[in-house]
Amino acid sequence: MLAFMTRSVVYGGLIAALLLLAIPSLRTGQLVSDATLSQFEPDASLVSYNYAVRRASPAVVNIYTRRYSSENRLQLNAEGLGSGVIMSDKGYIVTNYHVVARADQIIVALQDGRISTAQLVGKDQRTDLAVLKVDLESLPVIPFNDSYNPAVGDVVLAIGNPYNLGQTTTFGIISATGRPGMSFNRQQDFLQTDAAINRGNSGGALVNSRGELVGINTASFQQATDIETYGISFAIPYSLTVKIMQKLIADGRVIRGYIGVDGREVNPVMARLLDAEQLSGVMVAAVEPNGPADRSGLRTNDLIIEINNQPIHGFRNALDIVADIRPGTVVPFKVIREGNTMELMVTIGEEPVR
């Protein structure tokens, strides 16, 4: 018995000695605690966008539309659902054209519980924007930053009322800028994002990580096939939103300049054929008979390089410059015709209603 105990003590001592050699921290009798472990963890704080949401969300409203029944003109039926953004303390709200286009009555619900009917100030189908007005005081206004320029990779949050679940925020990045109208056949450029935009989100706010307005949510990508797509949504840029809003407030509609030409982008081969060194601009492919361009002397195969002293970088750029000019204004067009540079004074017309 004594021999057994002696062997046990000797073996225990040997094991303890080996452990002390292998783990030096045990020599002081201290174990590694949670506090000790924490000093080896990276010093990272919790990432949250709560600040941005708290800044922006009070200015995002729910929009409900109703229409008179075709069978009973005194009966209003629920028609549609969407969101909107309060852009001014005077009560101006921006939403999508397709949210209110068919509405006979528009109801706006604020996040603070207030509900009001809204007046339709104006709408523009091309940009899918509309402006409403409510008669309420102490309105929360969405934060702006005119110097912010959206870039691919910027974090964005989409705020709206999807499927009437109540205000909801989804997260993503700006996937692309300058996207054309895609499957919904519009001509202006869009911001593309992978933040989820569902039915009811239309007209809501796309904001950056500071809660500043980046754009107005408008649609998710839809294909003609049965293949479902995810993570491809679009928003109307803030700069275009403000420009259209101001025009709708001023005139109740968007009055666009028009000259009546079709054009093609210029490439090096085309420039050589036109005997021109200019590699940017628009070649006039067709002129509308008796249209503003025709009456002002523009001809097919003219190369337009400046409009109103602004250099032209493409056909879309040229259309945008003309559209922003008030009809009736006379502006200089610098063109290259048969190798010679000349200036024509063109009277801008008004875009016809299509």
Question: Do 241 and 160 share a structural domain?
Answer: yes
Instruction: Quote the pLDDT of residue 108.
Output: 95
Number of domains within the chain:
3
Q: What is the CATH number of the domain that holds 70?
A: 2.40.10.10
Residue 280 lies in a domain: yes
Instruction: Quote the pLDDT of residue 184.
Output: 36
Give how far Cα 177 sits from Cα of 215, 234, 353, Å: 11, 10, 29
Residues carrying an active site annotation: 98, 128, 202
Question: Do 291 and 216 share a structural domain?
Answer: no
Question: Do 107 and 171 share a structural domain?
Answer: no
Instruction: Report yes or no on whether pTM surpasses 0.85.
Output: no
Question: Do 265 and 233 share a structural domain?
Answer: no
Residues 6+ apart with CB under 8 A from 215: 150, 191, 206, 235, 236, 237, 238, 241
Residue 291 lies in a domain: yes
Query: Which candidate, 237, 156, 128, 233, places its Cα nearest to that of 189?
Result: 237
Instruction: Quote the pLDDT of residue 320.
Output: 86
Question: Do 179 and 119 share a structural domain?
Answer: no
Answer with the one of 205, 221, 245 that is the final residue of a domain: 245
Instruction: Quote the pLDDT of residue 270.
Output: 63
**Distance from C-alpha of 214 to C-alpha of 256, rounded to nearest angstrom:** 24
Question: Do 235 and 168 share a structural domain?
Answer: yes
The residue ranges of the chain whose pLDDT is under 50 are: 26, 29-32, 37, 40, 181-187, 223-225
Instruction: Quote the pLDDT of residue 236.
Output: 93
**Distance from C-alpha of 330 to C-alpha of 308, rounded to nearest angstrom:** 9
Instruction: Quote the pLDDT of residue 115.
Output: 95
Instruction: Quote the pLDDT of residue 264.
Output: 85
**Contact between 177 and 220 (Cβ < 8 Å):** no
Residue 23 lies in a domain: no
Residue 40 lies in a domain: no
Per DSSP, the residues of 161-225 read -GGGS--EEEEEEEEEEEE--GGG---S-EEEE-S---TTTTT-EEEETTS-EEEEEEEE---SS
Question: Do 234 and 290 share a structural domain?
Answer: no
Instruction: Quote the pLDDT of residue 352.
Output: 81
Instruction: Quote the pLDDT of residue 182.
Output: 40
Per DSSP, the residues of 7-26 read HHHHHHHHHHHHHHHH-GGG
Answer with the one of 209, 225, 245 that is the final residue of a domain: 245
Amino acid identity, residue 295?
Answer: R
Residue 80's domain comprises 52-133
Residue 295 lies in a domain: yes
Instruction: Quote the pLDDT of residue 272.
Output: 62
Residue 102 lies in a domain: yes
Question: Do 346 and 263 share a structural domain?
Answer: yes
Instruction: Quote the pLDDT of residue 29.
Output: 46
Token pair for 2: 């004594």
Instruction: Quote the pLDDT of residue 37.
Output: 45
Instruction: Quote the pLDDT of residue 79.
Output: 77
Residue 12 lies in a domain: no
Instruction: Quote the pLDDT of residue 354.
Output: 60
Residue 149 lies in a domain: no
Query: Which candidate, 265, 253, 320, 322, places its Cα nearest to that of 291?
Result: 322
